[in-house]
Amino acid sequence: METHAEAGKEGKPSCASVDLQGDSSLQVEISDAVSERDKVKFTVQTKSCLPYFARTEFSVVRQHEEFIWLHDAYVENEEYAGLIIPPAPPRPDFEASREKLQKLGEGDSSVTREEFAKMKQELEAEYLAIFKKTVAMHEVFLQRLAAHPTLRRDHNFFVFLEYGQDLSVRGKNRKELLGGFLRNIVKSADEALITGMSGLKEVDDFFEHERTFLLEYHTRIRDACLRADRVMRAHKCLADDYIPISAALSSLGTQEVNQLRTSFLKLAELFERLRKLEGRVASDEDLKLSDMLRYYMRDSQAAKDLLYRRLRALADYENANKALDKARTRNREVRPAESHQQLCCQRFERLSDSAKQELMDFKSRRVSSFRKNLIELAELELKHAKASTLILRNTLVALKGEP
Amino acid sequence: MAAEREPPPLGDGKPTDFEDLEDGEDLFTSTVSTLESSPSSPEPASLPAEDISANSNGPKPTEVGLDDDREDLFAEATEEVSLDSPEREPILSSEPSPAITPVTPTTLIAPRIESKSMSAPVIFDRSREEIEEEANGDIFDIEIGVSDPEKVGDGMNAYMAYRVTTKTSLSMFSKSEFSVKRRFSDFLGLHSKLASKYLHVGYIVPPAPEKSIVGMTKVKVGKEDSSSTEFVEKRRAALERYLQRTVKHPTLLQDPDLRQFLESSELPRAVNTQALSGAGILRMVNKAADAVNKMTIKMNESDAWFEEKQQQFENLDQQLRKLHASVEALVCHRKELSANTAAFAKSAAMLGNSEDHTALSRALSQLAEVEEKIDQLHQEQAFADFYMFSELLSDYIRLIAAVKGVFDHRMKCWQKWEDAQITLLKKREAEAKMMVANKPDKIQQAKNEIREWEAKVQQGERDFEQISKTIRKEVGRFEKERVKDFKTVIIKYLESLVQTQQQLIKYWEAFLPEAKAIA
């Protein structure tokens, strides 16, 4: 589908770090996507010279649930406890868009045919934009996995990429959803407990700083994301308002018999063009600002999750220490206590080391992504403002020039 | 007073002759006759009170001077008073007669002289056009400003007083620059007076701004919030536009009530403008009655121009309403955008504070500042959307209602004429019957009545011709004004949009290096 090709280039919230482009030993992309009634089918195409795969180029069809299965598999894997697991792509949600299209179809008799056509066009463009975005987000998820030296070697990942058949991953049933929900509660309880526990001293300044930083950062970026969404929607609303204005001006112009005729018709044209520009401003704000904020909101959550895991490892280590001390004083089962403590210590240190690296990567990824998107945002805003100025000035010249 | 009047420019003064001349000509006769009639007001002695006002303040409906004009004049006056809104009475009584300076606008003296030599219609035309042009140009040098809203009094009796400043070089005013304090009901009173004098003879009197009980109550109660300041500003701007439109009308400008409004330091309180007063309720009842009457009048339109124009205005009305509704939505959404941008700016600032990478933190704070400035920009643009675009449309929607009203008055005028003709027919039939029955005293009475109604028919026809003429002229003037008005406002509005975009460019250009500086 040709629409996808564009999505790959510009529609993507390019929050990925720069080195994604460098490594070509495993290239993953979503080459096609089809939207059916209530599901989207993604065609995942892989090109790789790595030995894990049977072929060098192959593709499979996956649905959203299978992406989620893959994500959860990573999260539940102890081996990756010290890594930031790339956030799962959000579920494709065309509900709002579909509802609007339906409402439009039900018809408002006061709307002229041209207006209706334009509104339909707008809604279809919106639908398409949402579609492109969901494709992009699923793609970025896979691409981050493919770029990560450890994560890319996961067996489930290979299965996901290569296994031709359906993975028969059904959506989570009620019990599992509830389970997931409870797990989150436990996690926050954990977090609270852990920090409240006397004696659990954060040994590392770096992590202490990261913890306070991430907690605040996550809340604030979530806030910023929500508000950026509202700005974008208000902008979209504004752009849509120009449709009936342009239509009314057009009718006024055709009815007039005096000099106002050309004035109104020119104004109608102007508003039509302004509408398109405003629409582009809205969608650029969406892609460069809202989407970026949203991605890093999720990524920062993933980073927080990493910190929790480390803290729990620390707690386990502390507990193992206490148990060892107890065993030593009682002089009973010292050996198992010792080995358990050793394990906990190793695990904790392993987690801490990789977490440190991951968090630093997170920071540099975040900084470069913000930089890229903010620059692009500013450049696009300038481009649209200049274009608007140009058409406004042209119309003014034309209007003033008339007798 | 009638004696003072010059014979009308055209010798026989039959309406039919006028048809040979252009529309523009009509302007001439009416202004001339207005001129001639106004200065005569200080002579009340010989005439009944009602006539003074009818003749001195308004254009005479009967300009085509026939010899028995005088009689018809009075008859006309009494009839008009009873047909029109009862407001007339209190207004007439409260009118201070005459510290009215004789009207001698220099522009119109020349045509007066020329009018005597009516032999060369061609010259006539040209001079009329010249005057028309002058009238539309800078000779009508008068500027009105409404400013400084000030709350007077307390509680529910409080009101807003506005300063009305006039700057003019017209000699009809005693000074070249002066100002007075007026309250909203004064404006309504002025409109009421002008409407009662000029609407029924076909002049498009600009409507006054609308009352708003909710808006005013808030102000009275003393809420000093942004919505009440907005309300006061909206009203001030509307009052200013109202006065500016009114003084642009050459006939209304001559009106002594208007002059008094602009000049007098004290103005008798117009009590009958209150919505819930007796007069107010009577107004509503009359309006309803009018609506019913309009539906039942079936006029034989002999002049396609009127039908065409009415249709045109009907269409224009519909389209303007549609556009107005859409623009109101635009204003609303732009305000929303502004509010959302402000909220985002705050959260961007917070995010910048949290961010531990220094350069990114600084860039985010800069972004927050940019967004804050943009929010201001959106707010200003929303004001421009409203005060320029939206208010223009709502003004014209109400103006067109006034235009439609004028067309309706013409219909009523026609109806009166028609009724007079029917009555005349009945009287003739009655006379015929009397002739047959041979009752000499009744026959005399019948003959008298016939003469009376013949005169009424003639008057009715003359009135109808006159109002038709006036409307044609008025519509022409209105359309010219409308074109000018719209063009001016559209250009101003587009310039405001350009301003906004240029500011946006400035802000983002300042931000770009900050974003690039993130290392």
pLDDT tens figures, A297-312: 999 999 999 998 888 8
Q: Do B515 and A374 touch (CB under 8 A)?
A: yes
Residue-range domain boundaries for chain B: 139-287, 303-518
Chain A from 133 to 172: CB within 8 A of any B CB: none
- In this predicted structure, what is the pLDDT of residue A403? 59
Range from A86-100, A193-207, A343-357, A380-394 carrying the lowest mean pLDDT: A193-207
Dihedral of alpha carbons B76, B78, B82, B84, sign:
positive
Alpha carbon distance A87, A64 (integer Å): 13
Using CB atoms, which residue from B323, B347, B363 is nearest to A374? B363
Whose structure tokens read 């997170």?
Answer: A362
Q: CA nearest B478: which of B243, B31, B138, B136?
A: B136
Give the chain B residue whose CA is nearest to the CA of A216.
B354
Alpha carbon distance A309, A78 (integer Å): 10
Dihedrals φ, ψ of B66, to 5°? -100, 165
- In this predicted structure, what is the pLDDT of residue A197? 52
- In this predicted structure, what is the pLDDT of residue B54? 37
Q: What is the pLDDT of residues A210-231, one digit of tens each?
A: 988 998 999 999 999 999 999 9
Query: CB-based contact (8 Å) between A297 and chain B?
Result: no
Q: Do A370 and B518 touch (CB under 8 A)?
A: yes
Q: Do A245 and B326 touch (CB under 8 A)?
A: yes
Q: Do B356 and A223 touch (CB under 8 A)?
A: no
- Quote the radius of gyration of chain A (alpha carbons, Å): 27
Most confident of A302-311, B30-39, B495-504: B495-504
Rounded to a whole number, what is the distance in Å from the CA of B24 to chain A's nearest CA? 18
Tell me the three state secondary structure of residue B192.
helix
Using CB atoms, which residue from B326, B483, B516 is nearest to A375? B516
Tell me the three state secondary structure of residue B182.
strand
Query: CB-based contact (8 Å) between A108 and chain B?
Result: no
Q: What is the pLDDT of residues B284-294, one digit of tens each?
A: 776 676 666 66
Tell me the three state secondary structure of residue B355.
coil
- In this predicted structure, what is the pLDDT of residue B159? 85
Q: Which domains does chain A have, with CATH numbers?
A: 173-201 (no CATH), 202-402 (1.20.1270.60)
Tokens of A124: 């279809």
Tell me the three state secondary structure of residue A272.
helix
For the cut 70, the answer to whether the pLDDT of residue A382 exceeds it is yes
Average pLDDT value over all residues in chain B? 75
Q: How many residues does chain B have?
A: 519
Q: What is the pLDDT of residues B323-334, one digit of tens each?
A: 999 999 999 999
Dihedrals φ, ψ of B438, to 5°? 55, 60
For the cut 70, the answer to whether the pLDDT of residue A85 exceeds it is yes
Is the domain defined by B303-518 classed in CATH 1.20.1270.60?
yes
Q: What is the pLDDT of residues B48-90, one digit of tens each?
A: 333 333 333 434 433 333 344 344 434 433 333 333 333 333 3
- In this predicted structure, what is the pLDDT of residue A119? 86
Task: Answer left, alpha or beta for residue A88, where phi above 0 means left and psi between -120 and 50 means alpha.
Answer: beta
Tokens of A196: 């409240």
Q: CA nearest B452: which of B489, B493, B424?
A: B424
β-pair partners for B216: none
DSSP letters for B23-92: HHHHHHHHHHHHHHHGGGTT--TTS-HHHHIIIIIS--S--S--TTHHHHHHHHHHHHHHHS-TTHHHHH
Whose structure tokens read 């482009």?
Answer: A21
* Cα angle for residues B295, B416, B67 (degrees, 5° grid): 160
Q: What is the pLDDT of residues B440-482, one digit of tens each?
A: 788 888 888 889 999 999 999 999 999 999 999 999 999 999 9
DSSP letters for B74-143: HHHHHHHHHHS-TTHHHHHHHPPP--PPPP--HHHHHHHHHHH-TT-HHHHHHHHHHHHHHHHTTTS-EE
Q: Which residues contact A372 (CB under 8 A, 6 or more apart)?
A: A14
Alpha carbon distance B311, A200 (integer Å): 86
Dihedral of alpha carbons B179, B180, B185, B187, sign:
negative
For the cut 80, the answer to whether the pLDDT of residue B5 exceeds it is no
Kindly state the percentage of chain B with pLDDT values over 70: 67
Q: Do A399 and B333 touch (CB under 8 A)?
A: no
Query: CB-based contact (8 Å) between A224 and chain B?
Result: yes
Report residue B222's pLDDT band, with 50, 70 and 90 as the boundaries: low
Query: CB-based contact (8 Å) between A175 and chain B?
Result: no
Give the chain B residue whose CA is nearest to the CA of A267.
B490
- In this predicted structure, what is the pLDDT of residue B437? 81
Reported ipTM: 0.86
For the cut 90, the answer to whether the pLDDT of residue A62 exceeds it is yes
Q: Which residues contact B149 (CB under 8 A, 6 or more apart)?
A: B160, B161, B162, B232, B233, B235, B236
- In this predicted structure, what is the pLDDT of residue B225? 75
Alpha carbon distance B418, B509 (integer Å): 73
Task: Answer left, alpha or beta for residue B249, where phi above 0 means left and psi between -120 and 50 means alpha.
Answer: beta
Alpha carbon distance A385, B506 (integer Å): 10
Element (H, E) at A44: strand A40-48
Tokens of B262: 């602009």
Report residue B299's pLDDT band, with 50, 70 and 90 as the boundaries: confident
Q: Which residues of B388-400 are buried (b: 16+ CB within 10 A; e: fewer)?
A: bbbbbbbbbbbbb
Q: CA nearest A15: which of A284, A282, A287, A232?
A: A287
Inter-helix orientation angle B358-384/B440-516, to 10°: 170
The residue type at A102: Q
Query: CB-based contact (8 Å) between A258 and chain B?
Result: yes
Using CB atoms, which residue from B319, B494, B518 is nearest to A251? B319
Alpha carbon distance B326, A248 (integer Å): 8
Q: What is the pLDDT of residues B174-196, one digit of tens each?
A: 888 999 999 999 999 999 999 99
The CATH number that domain B139-287 falls under is 3.30.1520.10
Q: Do A374 and B509 touch (CB under 8 A)?
A: no
Residues of chain B positioned with their CB less than 8 A from the CB of A260 = 482-483, 486-487
β-pair partners for A45: A29, A59
Q: In what order do the strands lie in the sheet with B177-183?
A: B142-152, B159-168, B177-183
Residue B160: DSSP 8-state: E
pTM: 0.76
Tokens of A74: 């990573």
Chain A from 265 to 284: CB within 8 A of any B CB: 267, 270, 274
Alpha carbon distance A287, A132 (integer Å): 11
For chains A and B, CB pairs below 8 A equal 157
Rounded to a whole number, what is the distance in Å from the CA of A179 to chain B's nearest CA? 33
Q: CA nearest B56: which of B8, B14, B95, B114?
A: B95
Alpha carbon distance B394, B321 (integer Å): 8
β-pair partners for A41: A34, A63
Alpha carbon distance B195, B189 (integer Å): 10
Average pLDDT value over all residues in chain A? 85
Alpha carbon distance B157, B283 (integer Å): 23
β-pair partners for B150: B161
- In this predicted structure, what is the pLDDT of residue B296? 64
* Cα angle for residues A245, A246, A248 (degrees, 5° grid): 65
β-pair partners for A44: A30, A60
- Quote the radius of gyration of chain B (alpha carbons, Å): 29
Query: CB-based contact (8 Å) between A260 and chain B?
Result: yes
For the cut 50, the answer to whether the pLDDT of residue B130 exceeds it is no
Tokens of B429: 């039939």
Using CB atoms, which residue from B312, B348, B490 is nearest to A267? B490
Tokens of A146: 């493919």
Q: What is the mean pLDDT of residues A238-247?
A: 92
Using CB atoms, which residue from B333, B479, B509 is nearest to A238? B333
Which of A231, A249, A392 to mutate to probe the B interface, most B CBs <10 Å?
A231
Query: CB-based contact (8 Å) between A381 and chain B?
Result: yes
